[in-house]
Amino acid sequence: MTTFLSMSRIDLRDAEFDVSVTDLGGTPVTPAAVDVAILPSRTRPTAATTWTSGDYTAGTVTVLLAGPDADPTGALVVPATGGDLWVKVTDYPEIWAMQAARVTIT
């Protein structure tokens, strides 16, 4: 299920998402890395997608989002047209990506 977030052009805020990772047997595992990316709405990641490390703690990914006119230091900038926030779980040798939120700029 996709979450919908609305931000102003100057907002700078944390977004948190639950990421439950299990192995094929259903046993919870801690992923090696969790990355995030903002993509144009209604598109999917490709080999050219630029990913940024997300902060993963106890099943929750936290990412600092910045509106297009906010201070971008340490944040993932959402373009003026908005976009989709994707989360990629990397656990060698598998990679799983999922859309976590649709972000609109108001």
Residue 24 banded pLDDT, cuts 50, 70, 90: confident
Contact 95, 86 (CB under 8 A): no
User: What's the confidence (pLDDT) of residue 21?
Assistant: 81
Note the CATH number of domain 3-105: 2.60.40
Residue range 84-100: mean pLDDT, rounded: 85
What confidence category does residue 106 fall into, taking pLDDT thresholds of 50, 70 and 90?
Answer: very high
What distance in Å separates the CA atoms of residue 100 and residue 87, rounded to the nearest whole number? 6
- Which pLDDT does position 93 carry in this prediction? 67
Angle among Cα 70, 71, 73 to the nearest 5 degrees reads 140
Task: Count Cβ atoms within 10 A of the Cβ of residue 77 and give its class: 0-12 exposed, 13-18 middle, 19 or more buried.
Answer: middle
pLDDT of 29 over the 60 cut: yes
Lowest mean pLDDT among 7-16, 23-32, 52-61: 23-32
Instruction: Give residue 13's pLDDT.
Output: 95
Angular region, 25: left φ>0, alpha ψ -120 to 50, beta rest: alpha
pLDDT at 15: 93
Q: Where are the domains of the chain?
A: 3-105
Average pLDDT estimate for 55-67? 92
